[in-house]
Structure 1
Amino acid sequence: MMIKVVRGNPTREELAAALAVVRARAAAAAEAPSPGPAGGRPAAAWSAPDRIARRPLPRPGPGSWARTYWPG
């Protein structure tokens, strides 16, 4: 993160205070949950893609990435 002073002559204490506010806001934004679709509301269970599966899908195992493209 880079901060540049474009006007004025702030003291070290003023710069430290401004930087503390910027870092606190960045930390709060990083901890906040990301908004879901439709403006911040979580996705409804009825629209989940795994709802259409009739049975649970098997967990992928070793080498499963190769089987996803080649049939057989």
Structure 2
Amino acid sequence: MTDRSAIPAPKLEIINPDATPEEIAAIVAVLSSLQTTPPPPKPRSLWAARQRRTRAALRPGPGAWRASALPR
């Protein structure tokens, strides 16, 4: 025996007793198509990454000015 209070109330109730199964299916299809999921987040460009704004620590010393233009 099932407890009636545990069964959730229906979210859709057909009031017209003359509704055909095709009409009910059409209504359900339209209502289910209205449910939208949010679009996935847009990936951030690497140009906008915070890591690009930071730079390596300066290392003063002999030849540092020459090494500053060289790739690391």
Q: TM-score range by the shorter chain?
A: 0.3 to 0.5
The structure showing larger relative contact order (alpha-carbon pairs under 8 Å, at least 6 residues apart) is 2
Larger Rg: 2
TM-score (structure 2 length as normaliser): 0.35
